[in-house]
A and B are shown apart, each in its own frame.
Chain A
Amino acid sequence: MKARIRKIVTIVEETRREMDREITPPTRRAAAIAVIDNPFAGRYVEDLAELIDIGEELGQLLASRAVAALGIDGAHAESYGKAAAVGENGELEHAAAILHPKLGAPVRKALAKGAALIPSSKKRGGPALDIPLGHKDAAFVRSHFDGMEVRLSDAPRANEIMVAVAITDSGRPLPRVGGLTKEEIKGTDGLR
Chain B
Amino acid sequence: MPQVELRKRVIIVEDIFHEGGPVAATPYRRGAILSVIKNPFAGRYVEDIAGFSKDLEPLGLEMAEALIEALGGAAGIEGYGKGAIIGSAGEIEHGALWHAPGGYAMREALGGALAIVPSAKKVAGPGARLDVPITHKDASYVRSHFDAIEIGITDAPRADEMLLALAMTVGARVHDRAGGLKAKDIKAKDGLR
Query: A residues touching B (Cβ–Cβ < 8 Å)?
Result: 5-18, 69, 149, 151, 153
How many residue pairs link A and B with beta carbons under 8 A? The number is: 52
Cα separation A188 to B20 with both chains bound (whole Å)? 46
With A153-B129, A153-B150 in contact, do A7 and B6 touch (Cβ < 8 Å)? no
- Are A18 and B7 touching (Cβ within 8 A)? yes
User: Which segment of B10-18, B89-97, B102-110, B164-172 sits at the interface?
Assistant: B10-18
Contacts of A14 in B (CB 8 A): 8-10
Query: B residues touching A (Cβ–Cβ < 8 Å)?
Result: 5-19, 27, 70, 129, 150, 152-154
Main secondary structure of the interface of A (DSSP, over half): strand
- Are A13 and B6 touching (Cβ within 8 A)? no
Q: In angstroms, how far is the closest chain B Cβ from the Cβ of A13?
A: 5
Contacts of A16 in B (CB 8 A): 6-9
- Are A149 and B154 touching (Cβ within 8 A)? yes
- Are A6 and B9 touching (Cβ within 8 A)? no
Q: What are 12 A-B contacts with C-beta separation under 8 Å?
A: A6-B16, A7-B27, A8-B17, A10-B11, A13-B9, A13-B10, A13-B153, A14-B8, A16-B6, A16-B8, A16-B9, A17-B8
With A17-B5, A149-B154, A153-B129 in contact, do A12 and B16 touch (Cβ < 8 Å)? no
* A-B pairs with lowest CB-CB distance, top 5: A153-B150, A17-B7, A149-B154, A7-B16, A9-B14
Cα separation A17 to B19 with both chains bound (whole Å)? 39
Contacts of A8 in B (CB 8 A): 14-15, 17
17 other contacts beyond A16-B9, A17-B8, with CB at 8 A cut-off? A5-B17, A6-B17, A6-B18, A7-B14, A7-B15, A7-B27, A9-B13, A10-B12, A11-B13, A12-B11, A12-B70, A13-B8, A15-B7, A17-B6, A69-B11, A149-B154, A151-B152
Q: In angstroms, how far is the closest chain B Cβ from the Cβ of A69?
A: 8
Cα separation A5 to B16 with both chains bound (whole Å)? 9
Cα separation A81 to B17 with both chains bound (whole Å)? 25
Cα separation A116 to B15 with both chains bound (whole Å)? 31
With A153-B129, A153-B150 in contact, do A9 and B12 touch (Cβ < 8 Å)? yes
Chain B residue at minimal CB-CB distance from A23:
B7
- Are A11 and B7 touching (Cβ within 8 A)? no
